[in-house]
Chains A and B, each alone.
Chain A
């Protein structure tokens, strides 16, 4: 057996290890049996229906979507502004600002979570939904900044200079020229932020106020009691949501990028 086929075999093994559990969850979510295990007895959507009828889960879904959407919007707006400052302007302390903006990427989320809580304690503020959003913005912002920055570097300043020379003021120039040219990156950044927020559990566990559950914390809570096949169904929905949404977004972004070249 040659070296290459060994590597091929190894690669396949790694992928199986990574994705078999996911495939199992998806398969079992369509299992009609009461017990979430193989062999499957028959196909059924009953666990998805049960999911839909479960108030706690539906509520968690709403919270997750609202949280993700708010995080995406706030992160993207802030990220665009930060990227423009970092790419288009020179100012003292630029290096330090760049490092600080990217830092949440390098700091373990647990540390970040505890730090924010301690900070809040120091300010004598209670936990709140607003804090949860703030926390999510902190760890999604670096991704948005990086994505938008990369795109902005590729947009020549001449476009903006041309718009200014034609009489558009800086704000009009941003909306008429810079933003449309940035749109693919803005969309990608927004999707990143949404998906990361939707998926997050570590930070959310620390920051969420009492009584508020997101989908991941809800699953975690359910797992503590029993392993119901409902969880498989929920897992399938989550996978669909977090994989299909970015794929869709990237397809749109790519189509737009081709159109704009």
Chain B
């Protein structure tokens, strides 16, 4: 096997078929030592299947999985040295918290005093040092979550696998646990693969995000990169609220692309990922909802922007901001704008301002 220093996990041409259905298509991925990587996508995109193959809970139909330079494709799960946190925690209900956390250590030939010390350390790490004699059912969801994490980390695994670990928690707790999980991961420095369908979790926690759709990788990148420069219409739509409109590439310079959008006019968009698109080609222009500014003043339009007459068709009031559904020259768009005094009302006539530098180009997609 090829040994590459600094790579914790490598997937080489992984394929998983279930009968006639292919859940994962020839996937290549390499994950750096110590990084927090998120597999993000809607249900059925193959993210959980991929995680289960790395874990050894599923055998890939084709391809090779390498952990720390060693092929583990034929290694059974109990010899892979992985920590897994399951969606519903899967704490052993018949064992105390202490015995749950100590479980993995008992199969690692350690002395009782070593086990004691490590369990105490792990419980301290998750800030629940006093629960060792309780049973899982006596703990709240958030506490069970922390214990599940402690149980997975205490064995010092090569990789930590998290399968939607936050989805069973309620909204407030979820955001707290997000911060907590990231703190523990950074403190231990453990390579982590996190599976979620929640884009805000992915953006908040990851070093790198792997966006998946229909068993394929759509894009791999840092959160900001994936958000600002989506590689496809799918990524643009899946992360945040985006407006996608078809346009034609007119010309390009070293840093910008000039596009005309039917009925909306011309825009100068940063080159970004659209390097290999040719002049005259059709493309999709991505306008983030929070970058579509609605304005009723007579302020002057910036030079690189277009200003278009628009009408509010619906308002989704969110407190500090509002999401407006607007009709811009016949295009239905969404705009998320902060509220200064009063939100606009349905039927209000406004101007929609789009700046070229806030936009991105992705390959044309007919269905959009």
Contact = CB atoms under 8 A, between A and B. Distances in A.
Interface of A: 156, 158-159, 161-170, 172-173, 176-177, 180-181, 260-261
Contacts of A169: 76, 78, 107
Given A156-B90, A166-B155, 12 more contacts: A159-B92, A162-B84, A162-B86, A162-B90, A162-B91, A165-B55, A165-B77, A165-B82, A166-B152, A167-B79, A167-B107, A172-B107
Interface residues of B, number: 27
Contacts of A168: 78, 103, 107
Interface string B101-120: 00110011000000000000
Contact of B92 (A164, A170, A172, A177): A177
Contacts of B90: 156, 158-159, 161-162
A167 B104 contact: yes
Interface string B42-72: 0000000000000101000000000000000
Contacts of A167: 78-79, 81, 104, 107-108, 155
B155 A181 contact: no
A261 B90 CA distance: 12
Contact of B84 (A165, A170, A176, A177): A165
Contacts of B103: 163, 166, 168, 176
A261 B93 CA distance: 6
A164 B94 contact: no
A157 to B, nearest CB: 9
17 contacts: A158-B87, A159-B90, A159-B93, A161-B84, A161-B86, A162-B84, A162-B151, A165-B78, A165-B83, A166-B103, A166-B107, A166-B152, A167-B78, A167-B107, A169-B76, A181-B93, A260-B94
Contacts of B17: none
B86 A164 contact: no
Contacts of B77: 161, 164-165
B137 A164 contact: no
A180 B94 contact: yes
A176 B106 CA distance: 11
